[in-house]
Chain A
């Protein structure tokens, strides 16, 4: 069975069937960061693999700085901490495979335990939930305690004139 990207294992080694969502290629399996996350021994392999993919995405895809991994034993999760830009504060990213489901209670527990206590204590607890699909797509959603107002709608002057006129005509009809 030839899988692209995987070197064929030497005949002498045992083959354990790998669970879905785990690395099967040699280069991933021996990546130092992945082995570091595994060695924290706090979560199952699917969550660790998800954390690894998010780690790569943050550093290579989103150009974050100072990304480190943290094991949270009581939550059985590996989290990441990093800065979106050079001078910003650290943010917490909680990776999770898509098939896991959470209760609202557990989400709040994660927020309370994973969040970094900021210097200004009045800023609300906030984490970024990184949801990893089986095809390695990651979507990031921000969870914050309390009421966060949405962004205001766009300024109407930015709208294309033609669109604006069409809307006015429809309104006045």
Chain B
């Protein structure tokens, strides 16, 4: 069961396996919105979590493939919980210290082995230097290869940054059919209208993504967005909502400029949806 974490209306998927399944099995794309741990200061490539459109999250919930959950640990610790938090912090510090000692031991052993390998060369080099300086060659040198006990600098220590929670956090399920602070979309007419269009287009086999970059509601792709450009910019028109002509011209012109057809979508007669394509006429 895919877990979708909701937070103030945003739907997030934190598990890499779930994100993959959502794309491969359900043909839903979403957007990666997280910073990458190794390359944080850029946004050309982002990582988990995967943010889903409200329509995508609802589709998965409706199909029974996902549950919407909400974390319950966001409140500050209650009175009795503070000692447990302190204990956890202490345990973490202890683990860190143990890891450091282990790394120091291993690093020291490796250094020793390396020096042993090169012992002959080092001795030769030292002898040459002593001759140059004119010292007697009889001076007994310690095999002071380990001149001082080896100390691994703290800044060179390797630390693991977990990118998944080590223990599952406490979550509670959220009902996607009724509005709540973390999932306010249920019942809103705008959301319902968009969802109807989304479900219909998804049902016809298209891939869909957010259309705000092109002034529309959705972008409609004939295949995976990594392989195809979008064909349509879908604009959901609620029945009875007037479309000012200037806005229509602006939207259609943008569509022509980026080689996409503008698709007006709204509920039609008899419960079906009506789609109208808008293109530049080409009259010079």
| CB of B280 closer than 8 Å to a CB of A | yes
**Given A131-B249, A141-B252, CB of A147 within 8 Å of CB of B278:** no
A149, B206: Cα distance in complex, Å: 13
- Which segment, of B32-40, B119-127, B179-187, B257-265, faces chain A? B257-265
Please provide the chain B residues from 237 to 284 with a CB less than 8 Å away from any CB of chain A in the complex.
237, 239-246, 248-249, 252, 255, 259-261, 263-264, 266, 268, 274-284
B residues less than 8 Å from A103 (CB atoms) = 237, 239-243
Q: Which residues of A contact B (CB under 8 A)?
A: 62, 84, 96, 98-105, 107-108, 111, 128, 131, 139-151, 153
B239 to chain A, nearest CB (A): 6
Q: Is the CB of B239 within 8 A of A150?
A: no
Q: Is the CB of B283 within 8 A of A62?
A: yes
A residues less than 8 Å from B284 (CB atoms) = 62
Q: How large is the interface on B (under 10, 10 to 19, 20 to 34, 35 or more residues)?
A: 20 to 34
A10 to chain B, nearest CB (A): 39
The B interface, classified by DSSP as helix, strand, loop or mixed, is: mixed
| CB of B232 closer than 8 Å to a CB of A | yes
Q: Is the CB of B243 within 8 A of A101?
A: yes
A104 CB contact (under 8 Å) in B237, B245, B249, B255 = B237
A132, B245: Cα distance in complex, Å: 10
User: Which residue on A lies nearest to B204, using beta carbons?
Assistant: A147
Q: A98-B246, A107-B243, A142-B280 are in contact. List 16 more A-B contacts (CB 8 A).
A: A96-B245, A98-B245, A101-B244, A101-B245, A102-B242, A103-B241, A103-B242, A104-B239, A104-B243, A104-B274, A105-B240, A142-B279, A142-B281, A146-B276, A148-B279, A150-B231
Q: Is the CB of A104 within 8 A of B264?
A: yes
Q: Is the CB of A107 within 8 A of B276?
A: yes
A62, A96, A105, A153: most-surrounded residue (chain B CB, <10 A): A105
A149, B227: Cα distance in complex, Å: 17
A141, B251: Cα distance in complex, Å: 11
A residues less than 8 Å from B237 (CB atoms) = 103-104
| CB of B23 closer than 8 Å to a CB of A | no
**Given A62-B284, A150-B261, A151-B259, CB of A101 within 8 Å of CB of B278:** no
A residues less than 8 Å from B278 (CB atoms) = 141-143
Q: Is the CB of A148 within 8 A of B243?
A: no
Q: Is the CB of B280 within 8 A of A143?
A: no
Cross-chain pairs A/B with CB under 8 angstroms, 29 sampled: A62-B283, A96-B245, A101-B243, A101-B245, A102-B242, A102-B245, A103-B237, A103-B239, A103-B242, A104-B266, A105-B240, A107-B243, A108-B274, A139-B249, A140-B280, A141-B252, A141-B278, A141-B280, A144-B276, A144-B277, A145-B274, A146-B277, A147-B261, A147-B263, A147-B277, A148-B261, A149-B231, A150-B259, A150-B261
